[in-house]
Chain A
């Protein structure tokens, strides 16, 4: 069974968001990493890039497939997690912790309301 921390918000495209004031941490869910299998490459945007909600902000590549990443919220990229790009296995082993992908400064905090809860996300999983 996938881990689904209840304090996080989720998207239907299997990203998660953790809010700390106006700062959002973004990553992919435990279900997503388990479906992808061993992740071997993570491509992330440079800090400073302005993302709109729904934009493709990068890609994860596993031995099985490559998958686009979609921004759950709008804002400016403050940091792309170098630990995740250098040690891609962290996205598999600690997707909600050390394996986060982006730190974003929210430009429209009201968007957070359109994200789904852990309970709602769990219902989408097979």
Chain B
């Protein structure tokens, strides 16, 4: 091990659980005096109360407990987080500052609409920005997660086909490299899922697609396609693919999970897609991963607009933002009120802070960073497909499994010892021993260099001391977790030792 990473050792002692720190009778806060009749919880709840084992601590003990826990947490604000397909970019603090303004935080969605024109203006502006970036005619902010956005788009497709008397179309096509949420959303909407294979260059296999369309064309409702694909590759025949689906009367949905590769550079609406979802919690820097909640905005072409979830947030003829409830063909609401409003505020702050002039830097730097990592690691971890990638690269650790019995998982666990969050493993499923690295645009060259250097050293270790990797991580409060045991004997309830 070189100097930079010297001295991997266990840094933090295992903390006690808050339950184990409990001292009977200790109180952490003073409650106001009671103005209603007192209830004896012990009597009311009986055994349940004594089984609860609520911890009893002082305020200082509670503060120390959670502060210490926060110190052993790992997040984007403590280090590099290259989790592929997740776009773990830094969320600028200005987003939080804007979303924390009392004019936004004190709003209640059930107050009269006429009292919050500013909030409606925010939503319209977010929609206008997103429509321009994606090339779609209308945006809905109602869906509250990526998969929710996918499902909403499929509901729109279904309504569209039904309105045209084509409700019998029962099949949705999904590439074999897709996120698992795609077939799940399709199945949830009552569709049958059929897989489209990937060709030797990592693109959707157009010849195979044509074969499927020839046989089943009139039964196909649409295609769900991630572009760039989950292999981190731009679908070079995207226009032809969309055209083929349109020719048989189907619609094409773009899974927007990888929009970070396209922001300000190219637009799915121009590629031929009919609808897409966006993850504001990824691409547009609202908190993500424990910090949520998500926001899965969708964009649609004109032909799907009549079916959008109601109410529509739009401008009236005078340019004033308003709500339109008169939507006879709408699929109805897909969430209460207007989606995750404060997330929309954060996204607007992010969009405005880049501005139209600079927003292309997001995708340009994201793509540059991923290609830099792919190129730098090529010799030790070859890419699954040897061509320039987009915002993430998919590498394979297959040779280490064959030669040394070291799997992608072992390499990833060893990265933790080197101070980095592991990349995504074993996805997409069609790549053996896959390691999917998405650096995002917010990392500097020095961080990428250090990360690549760590991976190169780990691959060396794999050939000379494979057990170092099998045992990793050894620097953390817990070592290698037994995932199999955790699934088979799930135990999430603490009980006092007797």
Q: Give me the interface of A with B, judged by CB distance under 8 Å.
A: 35, 38, 40-41, 63-65, 88-89, 126
Contact = CB atoms under 8 A, between A and B. Distances in A.
B483 A38 contact: yes
Contact of B429 (A38, A65, A88, A89): A65
Contact of A63 (B398, B432, B487): B487
A42 to B, nearest CB: 12
Interface of B: 398, 425-426, 429, 432, 483-484, 487-488
Nearest to B408: A64
B426 A64 contact: yes
B426 A38 contact: no
A93 to B, nearest CB: 12
A126 B484 contact: no
A88 B487 CA distance: 12
Contacts of B483: 38, 63
11 contacts: A38-B484, A40-B484, A40-B487, A40-B488, A41-B487, A63-B484, A63-B487, A64-B425, A65-B426, A65-B429, A126-B432
A126 B426 contact: no
Contacts of B432: 35, 126
B463 to A, nearest CB: 20
Nearest to A35: B432
Given A65-B426, A65-B429, A126-B432, 12 more contacts: A38-B484, A40-B484, A40-B487, A41-B487, A63-B483, A63-B484, A63-B487, A64-B425, A64-B426, A88-B488, A89-B484, A126-B398
Contacts of B426: 64-65
Q: What 8 A-B pairs have minimum CB-CB distances, sorted nearest first?
A: A38-B484, A63-B483, A40-B487, A64-B426, A63-B484, A40-B488, A40-B484, A65-B429
Contacts of B425: 64
B304 to A, nearest CB: 31
B147 to A, nearest CB: 16
A126 B384 CA distance: 14
Contacts of B488: 40, 88
A40 B488 CA distance: 6
Contacts of A35: 432
A41 B398 CA distance: 25
Contacts of A89: 484
Contacts of A41: 487
A19 B118 CA distance: 72
A30 to B, nearest CB: 15
A40 B425 CA distance: 18
Contacts of A65: 426, 429
Contacts of A63: 483-484, 487
A64 B483 CA distance: 9
A64 B426 CA distance: 7
Contacts of A64: 425-426
Contacts of B398: 126
Nearest to B484: A38
Nearest to A63: B483
Nearest to A64: B426
A31 B384 CA distance: 20
A89 B484 CA distance: 10
A67 B346 CA distance: 38
A38 B398 CA distance: 18
Nearest to B429: A65
Nearest to B488: A40
Nearest to A92: B484
A2 B175 CA distance: 28
Contacts of B487: 40-41, 63
A73 to B, nearest CB: 21
B198 to A, nearest CB: 16
Nearest to B180: A66
A126 B396 CA distance: 13
A53 to B, nearest CB: 17
B87 to A, nearest CB: 22
Nearest to B486: A63
A62 to B, nearest CB: 8
Nearest to B481: A63
Nearest to A67: B429
Nearest to B433: A35
A35 B398 CA distance: 11
B172 to A, nearest CB: 16
Contacts of A38: 483-484
A48 to B, nearest CB: 24
A88 B425 CA distance: 23
Nearest to B432: A126
A41 B490 CA distance: 13
